Chains A and B, each alone.
Chain A
Amino acid sequence: MNNSEDTQQSNIITKKDLRRANRRWLMSVCTFNYQSQQGASVVYALSPSLRKIYKDDEDYVEALNNHFQYFNTQPWLASIILGAVLAMEEKQGKEVQRAIQDFKIGIMGPLAGIGDSLLMVLIPTIFGSIAAYMAKEGNPIGIILWFIIILIIFFFRMRCFEFGYKQGMKVITEYGQKLTYITEAASVLGLTVIGALIPSVINLKVLAKFKFGDVTMEIQPLIDQILPSLIPVLITFIVYKLLGYRRMSVTKIIFLVIIFAMILARFGILA
């Protein structure tokens, strides 16, 4: 058995195993906890494949314990890392446990950066705002459009393990440079859209009026002459500054905005 190890090991993990691991990785954030974050989901996804690689119980338990450690990244792109991990486990076996954990930790950050900005922020911002506008007028077309995008992404997501397995580490090192350009370009697209969101999404009008004896003067038209959407810009700027303080959580800020809004509404200043 030992002498034929090299030739046999090259196809322990089949396409079917990779698809299965990909499906099981849907567990991703479900086991999220403050100790190992997504670690247990990695175990859940990889365990059937690891069992095939490590016939010996002791080796298997060692590999499982390795994967029970801390892991956290954008779950869709994580599939690529985990596919590559399976390739490493299969080719080099238990000698590289330490290296595998280092690889996972090292690649986690950059992938989370790309994944969060592209998949979790940019796409939901653009398609979410389009869908929301249409929905507010009772039109579901925007939602359907977004759903199509979601399905396309899902199709690719379900193949990421195979991709990662085939490319191993090559993908991240070789395409690394291009990935940074894509992230940069995505930021440009994102910021352009966000710039447009302030005037279109935040609807605020000043109700308060100046009174000079008999003459009343509306404030809103004055503001419009200075800068359309001045009030939304100011509010966004204040919240942006508040978010910079360590002690300000998002939840606290949302509560503050609600309280602030109630005070303004009480005195009829804004609507």
Chain B
Amino acid sequence: MSFTVLQVILITLLAFIKHIDYYGIPMLFVNYPVFWGLFTGIIVGDVNTGLVVGGTVQLMALGVSGFGGSSVPDYGTTTIIATAIGTKMGIEAGLALGIPVGMLGVQFDVIVKILNGFVVKKSQEYANKKEFKKMNLVLWICPILFGLSAAIPVFISLTLGTTAVNFLLNNMPTWFISGLTLAGNMLPAVGIAMLLRFMPLKQYINYFLIGFVISAFLKMPVIGVAIVGFALAFDLYKRREHEASLNISGGGDNEDE
């Protein structure tokens, strides 16, 4: 019913690496749930649960990404916890613990960014004192703090989590569990709405409607819709280029290649 010591260490380390990757080094998997579900699945020896949890949370997290330093829920941590707990007690139980901890990720993120302010101030002091080695070295505290902000919650969830989840599951009303499942189905709407806020929806609502109709009525898979979207985008690009060449016709054509 519980994890081996090695598994706890590896999963905690995975969360640490995940967050350092997320903030830049080397920013490959940017906290994308499908990847972290897969990696956690490999560690706990249940790849399938990792894939299912990763896929589920990925859909919840679509479009939720922290631009310009805003703090967003840590769905990567949600995935790691939900996968690990999910292999022991079922995916629903895993999500029941993983989602709240992921939401706390917003607060952890803010705390680290405040602490980083002190580290950076120290670094600049070293620069002014001409201690250039220390100036660079001290900055490494920042990624470590980010790493810990994911590793510590994961460690606590794994060690106390199973007992806590057991207790909760035995005492939790059914509407709470089915409510969380329903929330999981509804939350993608938040990400999609955020995407729509970010994109020029009012200007190009026609393309949005095309995508909606071919999916809702014709049931075309997303990959097919993406190809249609690409065709439409290509057309617009060509049109814009053509318009521009008409407008400046005569001068300033750049004919490289």
Contacts and interface: CB of A to CB of B under 8 A. Distances in A.
Interface of A: 26-37, 39-41, 43-44, 47, 51, 57, 60-61, 64-65, 68, 72, 75-76, 112, 116-117, 120-121, 124-126, 128-140, 142-143, 146-147, 150-151, 154, 174, 177-178, 181-182, 184-204, 227-229, 232-233, 235-237, 239-240, 242-244, 250-251, 253-255, 257-258, 260-266, 270-271
Contacts of B30: 120, 124
A27 B65 CA distance: 19
Contacts of A154: 26, 28
Contacts of A35: 117, 120-121
Contacts, number: 367
Given A124-B32, A194-B208, A143 B38 contact: yes
A261 B188 CA distance: 13
Contacts of A188: 204, 207, 229, 232-233, 236
Interface in B174-217: 175-176, 178-183, 185-190, 192-201, 203-205, 207-217
Contacts of A189: 226, 229-230, 232-233
The 10 closest A-B pairs by CB, nearest first: A195-B211, A262-B179, A192-B229, A135-B55, A196-B215, A136-B55, A261-B183, A132-B58, A195-B212, A28-B24
22 contacts: A28-B27, A33-B114, A37-B69, A57-B130, A75-B24, A132-B54, A146-B34, A177-B244, A181-B237, A184-B240, A185-B236, A186-B233, A188-B236, A192-B207, A195-B210, A195-B215, A197-B211, A202-B188, A237-B193, A250-B64, A261-B180, A262-B179
Interface of B: 20, 23-30, 32-35, 37-38, 47-48, 51-52, 54-56, 58-59, 62-65, 67-73, 99, 103, 106, 113-114, 116-117, 119-121, 123-124, 127-128, 130, 132, 135-136, 139, 142-143, 146, 175-176, 178-183, 185-190, 192-201, 203-205, 207-217, 220-223, 225-226, 228-230, 232-234, 236-237, 240-241, 244, 254
Nearest to B224: A196
Contacts of B205: 191
Given A31-B119, A236-B189, A135 B62 contact: no
A185 B182 contact: no
B198 A264 contact: no
B106 to A, nearest CB: 5
Contacts of A57: 130
Given A26-B26, A31-B116, A185-B236, A199 B216 contact: yes
